[in-house]
């Protein structure tokens, strides 16, 4: 474009796609200086001021504050500008990592809702043997007193996650030391498991999976989970499988998601092996 010697504030606003209010504010803080006509005292801008607008927009795109921009535009030495850029890069790395963790949390929860919807819509309640991929979970040992809600919305576990400076994602999993005791609604030692968004220390995590497991979805209230345990036991006996002593309850949707217990979806899982000498 052909440049003139001077531009009105309206010209700059139109040419650079910037509001007059912003131009007045930039003038006020000394970021883009205007001059005054000696005859009518109208504000006008030079070519140099006009060309400062795209530069400011670019710095704004990178997230720099107005006072930081002033240092760049005033032409401070490269060393000072370099320090500002290094600091901004560090800040953006932090924001990027926070965004990554937020995305993972939302995506994992969304996937659980899709899983529950599929299970309910297709009434998936069949027992199956499958290979479960190995994953690492943060865990906390607790005593289970047959209160599922307090174990899932777990204040002690939440405090522990904060203590170890971590964040959790995905479904809560409870590892029962004895599925038979679980079926009797008796107290026992359990482990609360959940995946994390940050790396865990070795003594904070345990592996789950990496083996064949017998699995069955339970739809509805936790009060009737015994029905699913009994179904698994009958199926395993019929098909000549030996069930391990422990069990895992993976809460796909629960109190975190809905108050309607009819919409709860829980996956009951146990280690399993084939009985020898039987066909």
Locate the domains of the chain by residue range.
7-76, 104-274
Query: According to CATH, what is the number of the domain 7-76?
Result: 1.10.1660.10
Q: Which CATH class is domain 104-274?
A: alpha beta
Q: What is the pTM of this model?
A: 0.80
How many C-beta atoms surround the C-beta of residue 104 within 10 A? 15
Say whether pLDDT at 184 is over 80: yes
d(CA 16, CA 53): 7
Q: What is the pLDDT of residues 215-248, one digit of tens each?
A: 999 999 999 999 999 999 999 999 999 999 999 9
Q: What is the pLDDT of residues 19-60, one digit of tens each?
A: 999 999 999 988 888 888 776 767 889 988 888 899 899 888
Q: What is the pLDDT of residues 79-122, one digit of tens each?
A: 777 888 898 899 999 999 999 999 999 999 999 999 999 999 99
Q: Which bin fits 231, alpha (ψ -120 to 50), beta or left (φ > 0)?
A: alpha
């Amino acid at each position: 474009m052909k440049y003139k010697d001077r531009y009105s504030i309206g010209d700059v606003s139109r040419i650079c796609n910037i509001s007059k209010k912003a131009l007045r504010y930039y003038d006020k803080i000394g970021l883009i200086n205007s001059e005054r006509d000696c005859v009518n005292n109208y504000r006008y801008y030079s070519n140099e001021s006009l060309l400062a607008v795209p530069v400011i927009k670019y710095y704004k795109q990178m997230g720099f504050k107005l006072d930081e921009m002033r240092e760049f535009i005033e032409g401070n030495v490269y060393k000072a500008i370099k320090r500002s850029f290094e600091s901004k890069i560090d800040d953006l790395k932090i924001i990027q990592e926070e965004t990554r963790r937020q995305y993972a949390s939302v995506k994992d929860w969304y996937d659980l809702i899709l899983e529950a919807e599929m299970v309910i819509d297709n009434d998936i309640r069949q027992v199956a043997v499958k290979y479960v991929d190995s994953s690492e979970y943060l865990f906390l040992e607790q005593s289970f007193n047959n209160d599922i809600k307090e174990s899932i919305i777990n204040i002690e576990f939440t405090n522990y996650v904060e203590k170890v400076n971590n964040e959790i994602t995905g479904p809560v999993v409870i590892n029962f030391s004895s599925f038979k005791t679980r079926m009797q609604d008796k107290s026992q030692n359990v482990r609360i498991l959940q995946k994390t968004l940050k790396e865990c220390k070795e003594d904070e995590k345990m592996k789950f999976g990496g083996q064949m497991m017998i699995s069955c979805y339970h739809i509805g209230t936790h009060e009737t989970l015994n029905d699913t345990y009994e179904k698994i036991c009958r199926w395993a006996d019929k098909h000549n499988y030996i069930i391990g002593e422990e069990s895992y309850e993976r809460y796909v949707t629960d109190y975190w998601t809905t108050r309607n217990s009819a919409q709860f979806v829980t996956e009951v899982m146990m280690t399993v092996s084939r009985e020898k000498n039987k066909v």
